[in-house]
Each structure stands twice: as structure tokens, then as C-alpha cells.
Structure 1
């Protein structure tokens, strides 16, 4: 997977019938300063983010490009920013590598931004921190922790495909609370001097960026990466390598970087956790009244009594978050207050 970025087709012309037998050659230009090299001949170390060189017994300090390229075992996700692969290293450590299709910043700006994001995310237990990164001519990627339970999108879509319910209500509510705390931390950060790269905006909140721990707590990944990369449409052939597209949903406001759009995207996740496409369609004032009366089967996870009351409160919060007017959406502080009232 990752190593393909360092090979290119031979210049000899091939007939269409011989495409599958087309030869490849490795890039062998050695130029460490510009990070252009043949990975079979030189082992270039990744740049470790500040504060991570002592983690995991010092393993992060010795992570090299050759090791990462050879250790890729398959793609686990793909989006508008790039693709994510699972990497199993020689020492048994498992990581996730997110490779960008196209960055909107240069090398120095990329490195400084990743270092700032890594330092900030280490202070919040609900954010997935970046461990290391590489900026090469033909490849730019970041390395982070791997979550064997996968993403929220994986859990929900996999269960719905087979007609099952993947998560109970308490687990769903825990995930909602964890995400809200991650967003609160991000929105409390100083925006920074560069208005193009605000540190107080996530920029790409969606179910596939909510990673699940074995205890069903959640962490938010890709903090700040949308500010560094250009969004490119995924080709149709990419669906051959990953699960079918998700059911239609309200389009997240992911194109503009703002806290209001972070809140909107969080609202979409809450609606997805409540009942998927059913809850997303039931949003008019008249239908809200019918939902409160129990006329519509809105909720995906079976619940009665206190659980149902909590779910209805979360539904009202989610509707406020997805208000068409950005100015009308609640702040994250207001959301924390409202969600606190749900639980207590």
C-alpha cells in the first residue's frame, strides 16, 4: 500500500492486455535534504513529535520510513483528505498511518503545525495524538495510535448492514459525552497567529473520525488536519477497497473551518447515534411533537423509562446543533451544560 507511492510504471509502452504484467522500478534518487530517496537503500527516520520520544519504551524515537513502508497491512479508511492504513511494526507495535493526497502548506509550515497539534492533543484524553510524521516529495503522512475496535462508522454501519444494534444506549451516551469533551478542549485553544490554520477548530468531525476504545469510550482523531490538506474527491474505483458508501445523511458543513460547523457535524453524529437515517429525517416542529408522543419509532437502540427520556433530550440538543443558521447553533459550553443535564 504505502510502498506504492515510491514506485512508478516503466516508461515502456504496454498493450492493454499486458497491463497486469507491467513492470515497476523503485525510485533510487538519494537526497535526504529534500526527502527524495530509494527506500530500499537508505533508512530515513520519521520526525517524532515533541514529547513522544520517551513513549512506549522509546520505540517512537526509532521509527523509520522503511519500517513503515514494509509494515503496511491494508487500508482501514479513505476520505477527502487521504487514506489511512494499518501498520504492524517489527516489534509488534500497531499504528495507523494517514497519508495525505495533497497538502495546502509547505514542509516547514506542515512540521510546525503538526508539532503544535501533537502537543495540544496530548493534554486531552479524548483526542488521538499524532506520534510522528514524514514530509517527503512523494509522500506526506502522520503516524498515530491504532484502535482495534475501529471507528464509530465501522460499528454502526457494520451492525446495520446485518440488521443488528451494535451499541447500547449507555455506550452511545458515553461516546457523545466523550466527543463533546474533545470538542470543548479544541474550542478552548488559542486560535494562533495564522488565521488559515486555526488551532481552535477541528475541521473534520464525522463518525469515521470517532475511534472507539475496548471499553467503548471514544477519542476524536484528525484534529487540525483539515487545515493542512486539500479535500479531493475519492474516485469511484476506491469503493472496491472499502465498505459501500454510508446511507444518505445531512451534508456536514466540512468545507468551511469554523466552530459553528464543528457543532453542526457533532449534531449529525448525535442523530446518527440516536437512530441513523430515521432520526435525521424527523426534524420538523410537527414531527418533533409526534416523536415526543411516541408516534414515531425514532430510536435505534431499544430503551424505556430513563433511557428514553435521556435520548429525547439528546435529540433536542442534536436538532439545535444542526440548525441551518450557524449563528443559532449553541456553543460548546452550552452543549456541555445541556448534556450534563441529560445525565444528572
Structure 2
């Protein structure tokens, strides 16, 4: 069975892949989530790719193909989204093939200094990553709400640091755009069988509101807190709110990286954005357009 190219270009070598090629490739598990398993695949020719293998999907083959093709087209239009190269929909396997990024994810990049003693990211590197994530979200949120397949394409649906891939120049690519709408746990709304995403849930946790731009903004805010203050900042956002004035006046040590006085205003600006993004009331959270305007001031 061939692994079908997302781009329908007969000159693309992906058209030559078969299930046999995939099975003969060297495979290493990179991570697991409610959606499925992420694997690094090294083919016999030495080329590396990432294979996103779904545990189960809620759409039939034709709709799956249409949605993957649509997502692939959108990913091609934004420099901050992981390209989708090919897919397979069979009785036993359903997966998507994506580009491989040897530096790993933002989660890996933040975990290295915390657990392994690696050199922590500088503020300039962190801000570059933050700004590019915001640009990617802005692209997604600017799309019309639904396409002809009734897929909501103006929402990511699963923003977290492990889905932010880092390239060698510290540019970012957001992975798994739209994938929650292929997985039964998320899009089987009628049966109400959604599983909690493996990231902090917004206060409005219910199936109707998980796929919303306000939920995306909440998760963006949680990523900002992680980038600024580390995992302790995620334990209780309420405690961060309570200590906000102490943090801004340097009475409470919060930021996990050294910084110079010239960076202070920009760092506190990002902290203000994070606090606004994780507000309990969705309607109070800023839009990504307003966030970008504030970051550019």
C-alpha cells in the first residue's frame, strides 16, 4: 500500500514510499499523547522524517484525505507551521509524515537546562521564539472558521511546548495543527467522549469550548509562563496572579534566566501578556492580533 503524498506531485519521491518502506525503516518513539504516538523514522536512504501515528480517528478515508490535504496546503502558506508531507489511511495504520527537526521541541530545549545542566536560553532567544509562536497563531486565527469539509481551520486545538519544533537557527515550527479534529477523543462531540489534552486545561473545560481561539490563547499564555518562570509557574496560575506585584517589583524570584536591565521592560511586557492570556474569563483574554501589537510596541 503506498504512502500518499499530501501535495499530489508525481515527481515527489514520497509517491514511491510503500508500507514496506515504512516497516523496514529504523523507528524510534519520540513521544506519546492522547492523539497517538510520534516516531522518528530513518529510511534506508538515510533521510529522517517524523511519523504521527493516530490511535484512532473519527473520520472516514475520504474525509481524512481531504482534511490532511487542506491542512498541508495551509502549512505551506506559513513559515511557522510544520509541513505535512504524506499520509497513510489503512485498516490498521493511520498516520501523517512530517519534517524532522534535529533540535527537537521547545519542551526539550527548556528541559535541558532544568534537568541536564545545559546552557539556558537567553532572553533574546526566548523572545524570538515567543514572537514567532504568536505569528503562527495569528496566521491560524486569521483563517475562515470552517472550510467545505466542516473542519474548523482557524483554531490549532493543541498548543503546548512539545508541539513547538525548533530549527537550527532557533526559528520555530508549530506541529499538529488541526490534528485534534481527526482524533475520536476530541471530535466525537455527540458521544461526549473527549479525553483531556495532555496540557493544562483552561477553566472553561468542556467539549464545546476546547476547540476555540480563546482556548488557544490560554495555552499560549501557559507556554509564556513556562518560558518565563519554568514549570513551577504552571503549578498554580492563581498563585502567580497573587504574587504579580511582588514579581514586577523583584520582591519574588520568578524568572528562570538571567537578564539585563535593558531587557526588563520587554520581559515584564511578556509577563503581562501571559497573565492576560490565562485569565479565567475567556472573554477577557486578548486576541492574538492585540498580543502582536503589544509585543511590537
Question: CA, structure 1 residues 250+192, in 2 after alignment: closer, same or farther (shift >3 Å)?
Answer: closer
| Number of corresponding residues | 280
1:142 and 2:96 matched: yes
1:175 and 2:129 matched: yes
SS at match of 2:185: coil
1:296 and 2:296 matched: no
1:184 and 2:141 matched: no
Gaps of 5+ in 1: 1-43, 233-247
Question: CA, structure 1 residues 181+133, in 2 after alignment: closer, same or farther (shift >3 Å)?
Answer: same
Residue number in structure 2 paired with 1:46: 3
Contact 1:51–1:119 (Cα < 8 Å) also in 2: no
Partners of 2:27 and 2:240 in 1: how far apart? 46
Partners of 1:270 and 1:209 in 2: how far apart? 14
Out of 175, 178, 189, the position equivalent to 1:221 is 175
Residue number in structure 1 paired with 2:286: 330
| Deviation, structure 1 residue 310 | 1.2
| Deviation, structure 1 residue 251 | 3.2
TM-score under structure 1 length normalisation: 0.76
Residue number in structure 2 paired with 1:76: 30
| Deviation, structure 1 residue 311 | 1.1
Which structure 2 residues correspond to residues 6-155 of structure 1 after superposition, within 5 A?
44-50=1-7, 54=11, 58-155=12-109
| Deviation, structure 1 residue 53 | 5.1
TM-score under structure 2 length normalisation: 0.88
Which structure 2 residues correspond to residues 222-237 of structure 1 after superposition, within 5 A?
222-231=176-185
1:320 and 2:270 matched: no
CA RMSD of aligned residues (A): 2.1
SS at match of 1:251: coil
Contact 1:204–1:254 (Cα < 8 Å) also in 2: no
Residue number in structure 2 paired with 1:207: 161
SS at match of 2:243: helix
Residue number in structure 2 paired with 1:279: 233
Contact 2:75–2:82 (Cα < 8 Å) also in 1: yes
Question: CA, structure 1 residues 136+160, in 2 after alignment: closer, same or farther (shift >3 Å)?
Answer: same
Larger radius of gyration: 1
SS at match of 2:184: coil
Partners of 1:79 and 1:287 in 2: how far apart? 33
